[in-house]
Amino acid sequence: MIKMSDLNTDQRLESLTLMPDYYLQEIFTRDISNETTAKILVILSEQSKEIILSNLNTVRREKVSSLLESYFSEQLSLSAIEIEHGCEALLDRVENLVKSGFIRPAPTVEIDDSFFDLSAEMKHFSDSLPRFDFNQNDLHDLISWWNLAAENSKNLFGRKPEVQNLILERLDDTFSSSIFRLSIDDASDMLVLKESKKLRAQILEDYKKRVDLIEIFFLSINSKQDSNELASKLAAFFPDSAAMLSRLLKHGPLLLYPAVKDRLPPEDIAMSLFKLKLIEDENGQAEMEKYTQKFDDQFFNKGLSLILAKMDEEYLRKILAERKKAYTLELEIKMKMITDAVICIRNNVSPYILLELMSSYTVYDFQE
């Protein structure tokens, strides 16, 4: 049992920071939680604190630093026994890594530091990894991106926090960034899966409402319905339809730049669609089309091409219904694939297994 009176003189704790970075990164995985890490750092020197913090990814470093500030400012109470238990957990973790063979005695032959210098490989990874938004990437691009992320997470030995930070930095969509951020924190696999399921359900619900709104809009345009009739149909998709109808009629005409984009909530989509209808009523489809040049919604752009082609209403309904079904299924598949990729990366699973798992969702026979 470690005694509090011995902690300041127990060199075992300070000497841990003399280990190579790849040892420290393995010691301070999520098995040593953010809270436990902060309690350990309380008794270490400033230099040792900084060394350990530098071997955590951005998400964990920010949380551990925040906890440290709260402990030192006494906003959070911290007892001697809590620190003691944290230190015991740390030494137990080190002992387990020694027994498993991960941590080994220093080699008798000195290895040049350049052997562990992966700066060039890290730069190549940074240059090779584009920004990622699953709304804009097809399934093949999605598989390629996450395979690249997984390979470098596994192969860039001793640079895991930097790799994790870079992956997180390049994620542009809410779902991917939220799930990956949680996965590189100290959360359990079960919590990551639970939050993924919850977020997937919310995104799917919003997406289904969005494509339903867009479908109603194009059918209204095609049948030359009155704008007020369209407003009523759009408002019917919301819990308080009367309030939404009032908002559409009052604020819709004042909207300067209608937009149909992935990140916008259904309420804003409805407002933009109503404004487009007003523009079409007043100035025709050619003028309305000018406002849609930068729209990035696949379903909207598909529907617009059908409208401009003067598609027969019966075929228009069928094609819109099929496209809506296909895009919704693709969205669901993408989110499941991303969840699997994130779980594989956090558990250091072989990229080959990740490829097989992700490819099983698709018709692609994906080869590296």
Whose tokens are 């009176």? That residue is 5
Q: Quick: pLDDT tens for 108-165.
A: 555 555 556 788 999 999 999 999 999 888 888 999 999 999 999 999 988 999 999 9
The answer on 359 and 244 residing in a single domain is yes
Asked whether residue 106 is assigned to any structural domain, the reply reads: no
Confidence of residue 34 (pLDDT cuts 50, 70, 90): very high
Residue 290 CB contacts under 8 Å (≥ 6 apart), including other chains = none
Asked whether residue 105 is assigned to any structural domain, the reply reads: no
Asked whether residue 221 is assigned to any structural domain, the reply reads: yes
The answer on 127 and 84 residing in a single domain is no
Number of Cβ atoms within 10 Å of the Cβ of 324: 19
Sign, CA torsion 145/146/152/155: negative
Residue ending a domain, among 55, 72, 100, is 100
The answer on 312 and 172 residing in a single domain is yes
The answer on 49 and 131 residing in a single domain is no
The answer on 85 and 196 residing in a single domain is no
Residue 163 to residues 12, 29, 150, 184, Cα–Cα distance (Å)? 29, 14, 10, 11
pTM: 0.87
| Range of lowest pLDDT (64-68, 76-80, 184-188, 332-336) | 76-80
Give the chain's domain count: 2
Asked whether residue 110 is assigned to any structural domain, the reply reads: no
pLDDT of 214 > 60? The answer is yes
The answer on 137 and 210 residing in a single domain is yes
Q: Quick: pLDDT tens for 284-314.
A: 999 999 999 888 888 999 999 999 888 888 9
pLDDT of 7 > 60? The answer is no
The answer on 163 and 48 residing in a single domain is no
The answer on 292 and 149 residing in a single domain is yes
Distance, CA of 58 to CA of 343 (rounded, Å): 19
Task: State mean pLDDT over 73-101.
Answer: 91
The answer on 144 and 76 residing in a single domain is no
The answer on 129 and 28 residing in a single domain is no
Distance, CA of 214 to CA of 195 (rounded, Å): 28
Asked whether residue 90 is assigned to any structural domain, the reply reads: yes
pLDDT of 357 > 90? The answer is no
Asked whether residue 109 is assigned to any structural domain, the reply reads: no
The answer on 128 and 266 residing in a single domain is yes
Asked whether residue 113 is assigned to any structural domain, the reply reads: no
Q: Long-range CB contacts (< 8 A, 24+ apart) of 66-72? A: 67/34, 67/35, 67/38, 68/38, 68/41, 68/42, 71/38, 71/39, 71/42, 72/42
What is the domain-level CATH number for residue 75? 1.10.220
**3-class state of residue 171 by DSSP:** strand
The answer on 65 and 136 residing in a single domain is no
Asked whether residue 114 is assigned to any structural domain, the reply reads: no
Q: In which domain, by residue range, is 277 found?
A: 119-363
